[in-house]
Amino acid sequence: MDHFQSLLSLLHRERDEDLQEFLRQIRERPLADRVERGYSWYPLQVVQTGFALGDKAFVVVERTTRRDEPHQLRSGQTVRFFTQSPHVENAEKQGVINFVERNRMKIILNARDVPDWITFGQLGVDQLFDDRSYREMETALNKVMHSKGDRLAELRDIFTGKKKAAEVFETAPVALPGLNDSQNAAVTAILANRDVTIIHGPPGTGKTTTLVAAIAQLVQKESTVLVTAPSNTAADLLTERLASAGVQVVRVGNISRVDESVMMHTLDSILARHPESKNIKKVKIQAAEYRRQSRQHKRSFGYEERREREHLKQQAKELESWANTLEDKLVEMVLTSAQAITCTLVGANHPVLDRYRFRTCVMDEAAQALEPAAWIPIIKCSRVVLAGDPFQLPPTVKSIEAARGGLSKTLIERSLELLPDAVHLLDVQYRMHHTIMDFSNQYFYEGALKAHDSVVGHRLLSLDSTGETVTVFEPVLFVDTAGTGFEEKINKDTGKDSTRYASKYNPEEALLLREHLLQLLEKFPDPERYPSIGILSPYREQVNYLEDMVREDEVLAPLHANSQLVVNTVDGFQGQERDVIYISLVRSNPKSEIGFLSDYRRMNVAMTRARKLLVVIGDSATIGNNAFYAKFLEYCEGKGGYQSAWEYMR
C-alpha cells in the first residue's frame, strides 16, 4: 500500500499548492481586478431559471458588459453566484458551471430553490477554489487501499505488479473495414482481455477512432460501457463520435460544448424531451412555490401562521418527494437503456451513477489523467482499457514537490512498464508528411511509426505564374534567430502575478514569424487556396502578443476572424491539426536557459500538429546546448530545412 499512501500524501501537497495559488491569483484580488482577469463575471443578468436533477435549482446568466472577451471560467468549476445589492441576507449561493457558451453560463446551484434576490440586480459570478475533485480522488485512493478480496483488489494488484493479468479470452481476430492492422489488433485485444488493455496511440494514429470501433463491438456483448476522459472537452468528443457510430450514448455531467451534436445526448436533455418531464417540472415548481410561501410566514409568531407555515412545508416536502421518485425512475430507464455512458473521471462519481457497476471502463487521454483521478471510474468496473500517449502532454501538476515525488506519473505510464504484454501500439499515422513525423518517430517511438500512403508525401503546393504546381517549402524548417539580438523579455505588468512562465515573450521573434508567414502567403496568388495555419507557443505571454499582432495585420486579421488562422498555446491546441504550424520558442538569453521548453512531450505535441509544413523559430545559441534540441537542429540541417532569420528581415 506504500504506493497509494504516497499518492495520497502527494495529492495533499498538490491541493495545498493549488489553494495557495488560487488565493494569490484570484481570491485576494478586488472584484474589478477579478473581472478584468476573467475570473469573475460582473455585472450580469439572469435569463432563465429552473430545476436540475435531484433537489437542485439552476440559473442561466448572461454578461451585460465585457461581452465576448476571453475569460477563465469553464464547465465543471465551482463558483459563487452573488448579489451586491444592499440589505440582502444570504447574498450568495454556491454552484457548479454546467456549461459556458460565449456570454452565457448555466450554473447548477447547491440549493433547492433559486434565491429571491435574483430580481434585485447587481449580480455576479466568482470562481471558487474547487476541492471537490480532490475529495473525490482522496476517497477513491482510500477505497483502493482498503479493498480486500474483491475485483477492485485484484485490479489494484495487477496495476502494481503484485499479480499477473489473467489469460485472454479466446476471441477471433476482428477485421473491421476502415481500420488498419494495428487498429484491428487493438480492438481484438480490448474484446479478448479479462483485466487490462493498453492502447498506445501516438499523434495522428487514430486512437479515438479505434476506441469508438471497439466500444461499438463491446456494446453488442455488454449491457452498458463506461467511457471516460480527464476533461469535459474529451468526453464531449467521445460522445459525438460514439453517437455518429450509431451507439446509443448518454453524456452525464458538465459539458464544454453546447452544440446540438453533444447537447442532445446529455442526460438532462434526454430527460427534458420525455413526456413525463413536464409533469415533474410542474410538481417541482409547485413545491418551490409552497416553500416560498412558507418563508413569508417565517416572521409571524401567531398560532395560525405557524400552523399554515408547517402545512406549506409539509406539502412542499411531499410534492418534492413525489417528483424525485418520478425523476429517479426516468433516470434509471435512460441509463439502463444506454449502450455507453460518457463522463469525466471525476464525473464517474456523479450521484446518478452511484448504484451502477460496469463490465468495462474505457479511459481515453489516460496520459493526461492524474493516477488518483483514474481510479475513480476503475472502482466501478471489472476490466479496464487505458488509451493515450505518455509522450504527449502530461497532466497538470502545480506543486513542483508533488511532481518530483511522482504525482505527475500517470497510471498508463506505469502500466507500459509493468504490463508490457497488455500494450498495443497503433503504428500508422494519418496526419503528416513523413519528414514532419520522423523526428518524433525516432526520438519518442523508436522508429515504429509509418506514415500512411495518403499523407506520406503531403506537401504544401501552390501555382506559379505559368499555372504550374510548385512546392512552397520543405516540410520541416528551422529559422534561426542566433546573432540577431532577438532576446526574450518579461512583461513587468504580469511578472509575479502571472503563472510561472506566462510573462516571457519575444516581440522580435513574433515579427519575424509574421514576416515569414506573409512571404508564405504571397506564394498563393489566390486567397481561396490559402492553407489552414496554426501559430503556437509554449508561453502564454507570447501567444497574447502574437494574437494582438495578427488582429492588427490587414492580411492576417481576416484569416484569424474566420478561424483559418489560429493562435494558441501548445496545451490549448492539443488534439487539433493544421496544414501549416508555426512554433515560436521565445527563449533567447546568454545563459542558455530554456525553462518550459525542457518538457519535450509538449514539443512533441507542437511538432506533430502540422500536416504539410512545420516552421520552428528560435535561437540555436540558446537551445542548442540541450541534447533534444541539438538533435532537432541536426535533423533540420540534414533535411535541408535550416535558414537564418536574416533571410526574412526586410
Q: Tell me, what's the pLDDT at 89?
A: 82
| CA atoms within a 13 Å half-sphere pointing along the CA-CB vector of 466 | 3
Best-predicted range by mean pLDDT (60-74, 267-281, 553-567):
553-567
The answer to whether residue 295 scores a pLDDT higher than 50 is yes
| Order of all β-strands in the sheet with 358-363 | 249-251, 340-344, 225-229, 358-363, 381-388, 196-200, 423-425
Mean pLDDT throughout 226-243? 95
Contact 47, 436 (CB under 8 A): no
Cα–Cα distance between 122 and 503 in angstroms, integer? 34
Give the confidence band of 499 by pLDDT, cuts at 50, 70, 90. Answer: very low
Contact status, residue 512 vs residue 499, Cβ threshold 8 Å: no
Identify the pLDDT of residue 87.
Answer: 83
Report the length, in residues, of the chain.
650
How many CB atoms neighbour CB 252 within 10 A? 26
Taking only the tens place, the pLDDT of each residue in 76-129 is: 999 999 999 988 888 999 999 999 988 999 999 998 888 989 988 899 999 999
Strand partners, 489: 505
Q: Looking up cell 482498503, which residue turns up?
A: 146
Measure the CA–CA gap between 66 and 35, rounded to whole angstroms: 9
Instruction: Flag whether pLDDT at 467 surpasses 70.
Output: no
Residue 27, pLDDT score? 83
State the DSSP string of 397-424.
---HHHIIIIITS-HHHHHHHH-GGGEE
For the chain, the distance separating the N- and C-terminal CA atoms, rounded to the nearest angstrom, is 64
- Computed over every residue of the chain, the mean pLDDT equals 90
Between 403 and 464, whose confidence is greater? 403
The pLDDT confidence band at residue 436, using thresholds 50, 70 and 90, is: very high
Which range (197-211, 298-312, 618-632) has the least confidence? 298-312
Which residues of 90-189 form beta strands (DSSP E)?
A: 92-101, 104-109, 123-127
pLDDT at residue 303 tops 90: no
Kindly tell me if the per-residue pLDDT of 51 is higher than 90. Answer: no
Report the alpha-carbon distance of residue 611 to residue 431 in Å, rounded.
Answer: 5
pLDDT band of residue 524 (cuts 50, 70, 90) is: confident
Residue 302 scores a pLDDT above 70 = no
Model pTM score: 0.89
The amino acid sitting at 273 is: R
Give 498's pLDDT tier (boundaries 50, 70, 90). very low
3 state DSSP class of 433: coil
Per-residue pLDDT tens digits for 562-606: 999 999 999 888 889 999 999 999 999 999 999 889 999 999 999
Q: Is the Cα torsion angle 7, 9, 15, 20 positive or negative in sign?
A: negative
pLDDT tens digit sequence for 257-280:
888 889 999 998 998 888 877 777
Give the number of other CB atoms < 10 A from CB of residue 625: 13
Q: State CA 433 to chain mean position distance.
A: 27
Q: pLDDT category, 500, cuts 50, 70, 90? A: very low
Give the mean pLDDT of 180-191: 96
- pLDDT of residue 40 exceeding 60, the answer is yes
Cell of 297: 410566514
* Contact predicate 335/356, CB 8 Å: yes
* 132-146, 401-415, 453-467, 478-492, range with the lowest pLDDT: 453-467
Measured distance CA(634)–CA(645) in Å, rounded? 17
User: Residue 275: its pLDDT value, please?
Assistant: 82
Q: What is the mean pLDDT of residues 420-439?
A: 96
pLDDT, position 265: 96
Query: Which residue's C-alpha cell is 418527494?
Result: 321
**Contact present, 41 and 61 (Cβ < 8 Å):** yes
Burial of 329 (0-12, 13-18, 19+ CB in 10 A): exposed
Report yes or no: 152 and 144 within 8 Å, Cβ to Cβ: yes
DSSP assignment of 462-491, as one string? EE-TTS-EEE-S-SEEEEE-TTTT---EE-
| Residues forming beta bridges with residue 362, ordered by sequence position | 227, 385
pLDDT at 497 over 50: no
Q: What is the pLDDT of residues 354-365, one digit of tens each?
A: 999 999 999 999
Place of cell 415533474: 280
- Assign 454 a pLDDT band (cuts: 50, 70, 90): very high
349 has pLDDT over 50 = yes
Q: Single out the residue of 601, 613, 602 nearest to residue 641, CA to CA.
A: 613
- Which H helix or E strand runs over 163? none
The residue-averaged pLDDT of 304-319 equals: 69
- pLDDT tens per residue across span 252-263: 999 988 888 899
